Amino acid sequence: MQNNRKRAKTLTIRLTKAEKEMIKKKARKAQLSVTDFLVTTSLRTEIHVAEDIKPLLIELKRIGNNVNQITMKINAGAFHSADFSDVIQGQRMLYEQLLRIAGGR
C-alpha cells in the first residue's frame, strides 16, 4: 500500500452489526485500519465469474441418469459383463472441471 497517497474519495456501504464487527475484528487482527483492511483485501481478492455452465450441468445430469439406469439393469441381471471404468473416469473428469470452473482454479 502507498502510505503517501491522499484519500479524497469516500465509499459508503451498508452492513449488519455483525458484519461490521467482524470486519473491525479482522482489521485489528491484521493490524490495519478498517479502511486499509478493506482496500487491501478488496484490491487483492480476485473475483472469478463462472461462464454459463448450465448446459454442462444438464449434460452431466443426463449422463448420471444413464449411468443409474445401466446400474439398475446390471443389478437386475439384464446383462453381466461390462467395463464402465471409462464412463466413470469421464464423469470424474467432468466433475473436476466443473469444480475448477466454479472455484475459479
Long-range CB contacts (within 8 A, 24+) of 49-58: 50/101, 50/102, 50/104, 51/101, 53/98, 53/101, 53/102, 56/94, 56/97, 56/98, 57/98
- Amino acid residing at 67: V
Give the per-residue pLDDT at 81: 62
Is residue 60 a contact partner of residue 95, using CB atoms and an 8 Å limit? yes
What pLDDT score does 95 carry?
79
> What type of residue sits at position 2?
Q
pLDDT at residue 1 tops 70: no
> pTM for this one?
0.46
